[in-house]
Amino acid sequence: MDLEHMPPILTVEEAAAFLRIKRSTAYELIRQGQIPSFRVGRFIRIPRDALLRVAEGAGQKVRAARGAK
């Protein structure tokens, strides 16, 4: 899934695919509050912009751990 074709609101499955993690891991990160989400009835949805911030933050942590500036 590329950024140009990503919808503004994603399902858990779409978010997991974007992050290249298992669906169960995505649910756990949502439960822990590491991936911002909201419910529509019984469905969990994730705002695209929030997911991009999560991914960007993870990239910054990796660069910091490697000693990059």
35 C-beta neighbours (distance < 10 Å), count:
24
> Of the candidates 23, 22, 18, which has an alpha carbon nearest to the alpha carbon of residue 58?
18
Tens of pLDDT, residues 13-46: 999 999 999 999 999 999 999 999 999 999 999 9
Q: How far is CA 49 from the centre of its chain?
A: 9
Question: CA 8 to CA 15: how far, in whole Å?
Answer: 11
The letter for the amino acid at 20 is R
Residue 8 pLDDT class (50, 70, 90 cuts): very high
pTM for the predicted model, two decimal places: 0.80
The predicted structure's pLDDT at residue 4: 74
Q: How far apart are CA 29 and CA 25, in angstroms?
A: 6
